[in-house]
Structure 1
Amino acid sequence: MKQSVLFLFVSIVIYACSSSKPYSKTNKQYKKQAAAYAAILKAYPLKDSAGLPYAVDFVGTTNFSMRKPNYVVIHHTAQNSCEQTLKTFTLPRTQVSSHYVICKDGTVHHMLNDLLRAHHAGVSKWGNTTDLNSSSIGIEIDNNGSEAFTDAQIGSLQTLLGRLKNAYQIPTGNFIGHADIAPGRKVDPNNHFPWQQLAGNGFGYWYDTTNVQVAPGFDPLQALRIVGYNIAKPQAAIQSYRLHFTPQDSSKTLNESDKKILASLMAKYQ
């Protein structure tokens, strides 16, 4: 009897420990990978496959600093729970990740040092910037892609965005969505996302068409380009613009109302 009770007690302790720290193994792997990158930095100058330095004479400058993120890219997870997303981001075979994950109850999981490169943007372009993974922070919000975001999520998101903006001096116009940087390939965050609310708090721009005068010959497609969209595939760019700025409209052409919106946005993003 005593042995049975002891076995039960030990089992409960083991379960409690494993359930309270379900990601202890991946946390350990994170530290191991981070240490490996730190060792590479320390070993500069790097050597090539023949064991030779890229340049013979290395003179270490005293004037340098860490690279810092210049964009924030917002996503929805397109999965069914926060737990599912955390698991996806901790499996090496998936090769996907983000810096932060925000659950429906507002819980924020920080998954990667802001100064390291996450795999969240993929093939991407915004203005003249390509490879957004190398210059951005990725934030994933738990959402299956077709539902509204919770008040708790948006509250936590705005608190986080405020901290990131202050920490890295991220420009107002550089808070964007995955669909913005990958037209035709991505549609997140979905059309329920409150971009106007965020813009009102300094995270991205919103339009004001009250006093906008559209110049004769105004080209709305070129305005999309100036705002930041990749217009190589015009209809894809229009779709991404609509998801962000006119989610109630699903048309694939730009009308007179869009011209006013884009004229207003162009003035802000320039």
Structure 2
Amino acid sequence: MQKSIFLLITLALLLVLSCSENIYQESKKAYKKQVKTLGKSLRNIQPDSINNQAFNVIESQNFSLRKPNFIIIHHTDQESCEQTYRTFALQRTQVSSHYVICDDGTITQMLNDLLRGWHAGNSTWGNVTDVNSVSIGIELDNDGEEPFSYAQINNLTWLLKNLTEKYKIPKQNIIGHADIAPGRKVDPSALFPWKTLAKSGYGIWYDETKLDSVVIDSAFNPKKALKFIGYNISNLENVIYSFKLHFNPSDVSKTLSEKDKKILILLEDEILKLK
């Protein structure tokens, strides 16, 4: 009896593994096909026309591929890396990200950096309204309620170093999904170590030593400051929540405190230094 049960369990596990392999093989095949089709579409210029008059075509030899200028950090809100791999491999989900970093630090690349991933959704940052087209998405295996492991953050830092050097991405352009989609997304969670990351040179943080000495002028406009940083201020309460999730995670709410206003002033200073 026990032998029969063991056999059934073994067969079930083999079936699950086989299905997973099939999913990844199908995804790999579709990936190569789509990249090939994309490559073919770039070989020739298909001229448009105005008033039934086609554009002239003279090919220039001076070009390169467009490069990403933002990095968006997410947490997966799933149970495991394996579940995330499956989610990104299945066509019906219509979501993807360039990298997935597991709790043990394992890094898996799922898209070429120069391909447009489907990780940001309906998002805005500054004047950028199609974040997917200009960004690399990095997913961290985390359910949103647990701390991010040392191995995960350590390898994230290594990956950010590699990507920012390769594509000359400014440190202020390393942001979270919640920053670009206030009210719609809350990842990475308040447990994500933005301050630690900024100390390593990735993302921005404010000078905490100046916090007590900041004087809030009567003319200070927090809404204008949030917009200056990059937030879409169409829904102020949601923006405040996302801002605090990133820069004041110990006091996340939809209301600005005096400390929050001081942080905004200091962040404006940091950004001005970078311009």
Structure 2 length-normalised TM: 0.86
Consecutive unaligned residues in structure 2, runs of 5 or more: 1-10
Alignment of 1:156-235 (within 5 A): 156-211=155-210, 212-235=214-237
Partners of 2:20 and 2:129 in 1: how far apart?
40
Quote the offset at 1:102 in angstroms: 0.6
The correspondence of residues 137-152 of structure 1 with structure 2, limited to 5 A, is 137-152=136-151
Cα gap change, 1:173/1:45 in structure 2, threshold over 3 Å: closer, same or farther? same
CA deviations on 1:43-95 (whole Å, 9 max, x unpaired) are: 322579xxxx9834101122221100000000000110100000000111110
Q: Determine the C-alpha separation between the residues in 2 that align with 1:20 and 1:146.
A: 27
Quote the offset at 1:255 in angstroms: 2.0
Question: Quick one: which amino acid aligns to residue 214 of structure 1?
Answer: I
Cα distance, 1:20–1:184 mapped onto 2, change above 3 Å = closer
Q: Confirm whether residue 44 of structure 1 aligns to residue 45 of structure 2.
A: yes
Name the CA distance, whole Å, in 1 between partners of 2:89 and 2:41. Answer: 23
Distance 1:90 1:169 in 2: 29
- 1:24 is aligned to 25
- Rounded to whole Å, the distance in 2 between the matches of 1:197 and 1:116 is 29
Give the distance between the partners of 2:93 and 2:253, measured in 1 at CA.
35
1:250 to 241, 249, 252: 252
SS at match of 1:125: coil
Say whether the 8 Å CA contact 1:209–1:260 is kept in structure 2. Answer: no
For the Cα contact (< 8 Å) 1:220–1:258, is it kept in 2? no
Alignment CA distance shift 1:155-1:251 (3 Å): same
Match for 2:173: what amino acid?
A: N
Asked if the contact 1:75/1:139 (under 8 Å) is kept, the reply is yes
Query: Structure 1's 90 and 20: CA in aligned 2 closer, same or farther, altered over 3 A?
Result: closer
Q: Percent identity?
A: 53
User: How well do the aligned residues superpose, as a CA RMSD in angstroms?
Assistant: 2.2
- TM-score normalised according to structure 1 size: 0.88
Partner Cα distance (2:206, 2:55) in 1 = 54
Measure the CA separation in 2 of the matches of 1:266 and 1:127.
Answer: 14
Residue 67 of structure 2: aligned partner: 68
Q: Per residue, is there more helix in 1 or in 2?
A: 2
Instruction: Give the distance between the partners of 1:186 and 1:103, measured in 2 at CA.
Output: 20
SS in 2 for 1:210: helix
Return the letter of the residue paired with 2:44: A
Whichever residue aligns with residue 28 of structure 1, its letter is K
* Unpaired runs of at least 5, structure 1: 1-10
2:251 aligns to what SS in structure 1?
A: coil
- 1:54–1:183: structure 2 CA closer, same or farther, 3 Å change rule? farther
Q: How many residues align?
A: 253
